[in-house]
Amino acid sequence: MTAATDSVGPSLDALADAFATAHPAFATAPESLRFVRAPGRVNLIGEHTDYNDGLVLPAAVSLAIDLAFIPTDDRRVELSLLATGERGSFDLDAIGPRRGTWLDYVAGTAWALLEAGVPLRGFRGVLSSTIPAGAGLSSSAAIELASAWALSGGETPALQPMRLAQAAQRAENAYVGVLCGLMDQFAVTMGRAGHALRLDCRSLDWYPVALPAEVEIVVCHSSSPRRLEASAYNARRAECAAAVAAVAAREPAVTSLRDVDLTTLERSRERMGEIPYARAVHVISENARVIETEAALQAGDLEALRRLFAASHASLRDSFEVSSPELDALVGIASRTPGVVAARLTGAGFGGCTVNLVERGRSGALRDAVERDYPGLTGLIPRVFVVEAAAGTGLVRRPGAGA
Ligand code: GLA
């Protein structure tokens, strides 16, 4: 099977060698070298609901960031990227403003952890990734959480896991300047092998939901650029807020779309205009689909999963308007391919990836169909990843390395 090799990155031995080359002065004590792995994530369902106090059902996946590092006492962070050799550094006592590069996710995490009162150490590191960048699979959240572990000297960061995820979200919101919700940092922190994670973004209650053994997760990357993503994402947030404000004008107890059902929304429809109304219809119906999807996963009801994913994709395309011709093409191909249970866009949209539930052992048919049909429809070369639901961020050991 070629499929499984998609998620296999450079070995930890290769990363250790790269560390020795990048930081020769620190390579004299190889036993202090540590490795932290932070997964990417797919969202099974519950899209654009997290910043509306709603429900989400993501899973951490086997595409991941690996960071090899040695903690230091000099308050300096210096790290490089295995793929390109690009280097970045900053001082923990003078982090400075954002630079507009990948280093912002590391520096922003340091900034947010210091703000939360977490004691930090410097480190030297080398980072490798099997998460395609800019694909909507949360490579930025993975860098943030891997950094949090390295900045904590390789110990469990001194914050409750949910507070840690929130600190990483704050890094992204207030330092990097992206107004994301909590879902990505939550999934990258809490991931559990073989499980999706059901989070209530209002109460922050969450629990793992076992995935049926008979399905596997296939991610199809549209390879299409996501240029307008940040401004369009922020516009969607503002449109949801406009819908809430219109409802709250006559129902003051309403503070988010979580408080609104379709009947309540209808009563205020005239006050809000068609676009906020359509956005709200998506969010309200998507919260209901999360609950139904959890039940369908537990019952192994594949027909219900097909219907729910299709309804989510249609709602994101028609009411929330975050799909693209490329994502629609990928979902169309999947829906015609035998063995595919369910398909929809995943993450923010505007490009990026689809998530597919496929009968175990039948992912090859989807890969073949996408590789055959997608380039002719779009002029783009897709990438197909068969992934497993994986554990959240934590230290990993080299096979054969001692205790
Ligand atoms: C991005 C954001 C998340 C969430 C999704 C849409 O991935 O980072 O917080 O809003 O979009 O569901």
Residues 169 and 281 placed together within one structural domain of the fold: no
Residues 188 and 295 placed together within one structural domain of the fold: no
Residues 310 and 172 placed together within one structural domain of the fold: no
The region that residue 227 occupies, defined by phi over 0 for left and psi between -120 and 50 for alpha, beta otherwise, is alpha
Instruction: Report the percentage of the chain scoring pLDDT > 90.
Output: 91
Which numbered atom of ligand 1 lies nearest the CA of 181?
9
Residues 200 and 220 placed together within one structural domain of the fold: no
Residue 398 lies in a domain: no
Q: Which residues pair with 88 in a beta bridge?
A: 79
Residues 271 and 194 placed together within one structural domain of the fold: no
CA of 400 to the centre of ligand 1 (A): 38
Statement: residue 2 has pLDDT above 60: no
| Mutate-to-test residue for ligand 1 from 48, 182, 237, highest number of ligand atoms within 8 A of CB | 48
Contact 229, 48 (CB under 8 A): no
Residue 399 lies in a domain: no
Residues 220 and 363 placed together within one structural domain of the fold: yes
Q: Which residues pair with 221 in a beta bridge?
A: 353, 383
Residues 321 and 363 placed together within one structural domain of the fold: yes
Residues 189 and 278 placed together within one structural domain of the fold: no
Q: Is 184 a catalytic residue?
A: yes
Q: Which residues contact 81 (CB under 8 A, 6 or more apart)?
A: 87, 102, 126, 127, 128
Half-sphere exposure of 391 (CA within 13 A, CB side): 6
CA of 349 to the centre of ligand 1 (A): 9
- Which residue's alpha carbon is nearest to atom 2 within ligand 1? 180
Examine the fold and report which residue of 209, 224, 259 is the final residue of a domain before the chain moves on.
209
Could you give the CA distance from residue 340 to residue 362 in angstroms, rounded to a whole number? Answer: 8
**pLDDT tens string 138-173:** 999 999 999 999 999 988 898 999 999 999 999 999
Residue 362 lies in a domain: yes
Helix 229-250 × helix 274-299 angle, to 10°: 100
Q: What per-residue confidence (pLDDT) applies to 229?
A: 75
Q: What per-residue confidence (pLDDT) applies to 64?
A: 98
Catalytic residue among 184, 200, 261, 328: 184
The verdict on the CB of residue 244 being under 6 Å from ligand 1 is no
Residues 205 and 220 placed together within one structural domain of the fold: no
Give pTM, 2 decimals: 0.96
Residues 281 and 380 placed together within one structural domain of the fold: yes
CA of 284 to the centre of ligand 1 (A): 16
Could you give the CA distance from residue 295 to residue 242 in angstroms, rounded to a whole number? Answer: 32
Max distance between CA atoms of the chain, in angstroms, equals 70
Residues 149 and 274 placed together within one structural domain of the fold: no
Residues 30 and 157 placed together within one structural domain of the fold: yes
Residue 7 lies in a domain: no
Residue 400 lies in a domain: no
Tokens standing for 128?
């490798």
The verdict on the CB of residue 347 being under 6 Å from ligand 1 is yes
Tell me the pLDDT band of 1, cut-offs 50, 70 and 90.
very low
Read off the CATH number of the domain in which 292 is found.
3.30.70.890
Could you give the CA distance from residue 309 to residue 193 in angstroms, rounded to a whole number? Answer: 22
Residue 394 lies in a domain: no
Could you give the CA distance from residue 171 to residue 192 in angstroms, rounded to a whole number? Answer: 24
The overall average pLDDT reported for the chain is 95
Q: What per-residue confidence (pLDDT) applies to 36?
A: 97
Instruction: Report the percentage of the chain scoring pLDDT > 70.
Output: 96
Read off the CATH number of the domain in which 117 is found.
3.30.230.10
The verdict on the CB of residue 308 being under 6 Å from ligand 1 is no
Residue that the structure tokens 């590092």 belong to: 69
Tell me the pLDDT band of 247, cut-offs 50, 70 and 90.
very high
Residue 396 lies in a domain: no
Could you give the CA distance from residue 253 to residue 10 in angstroms, rounded to a whole number? Answer: 53
- Which residue's alpha carbon is nearest to atom 9 within ligand 1? 181
CA of 27 to the centre of ligand 1 (A): 39
Examine the fold and report which residue of 161, 194, 209 is the final residue of a domain before the chain moves on.
209
Q: Count how many domains the chain has.
A: 2
Contact 23, 124 (CB under 8 A): yes
Residue 244 lies in a domain: yes
Domain range for residue 286? 215-387
The verdict on the CB of residue 184 being under 6 Å from ligand 1 is yes
Examine the fold and report which residue of 152, 178, 209 is the final residue of a domain before the chain moves on.
209
Phi/psi for 20 (5° steps) reads: -60, -35
* Amino acid identity for residue 91 in this structure: D
**pLDDT tens string 380-394:** 999 999 999 999 999
Q: What per-residue confidence (pLDDT) applies to 350?
A: 93
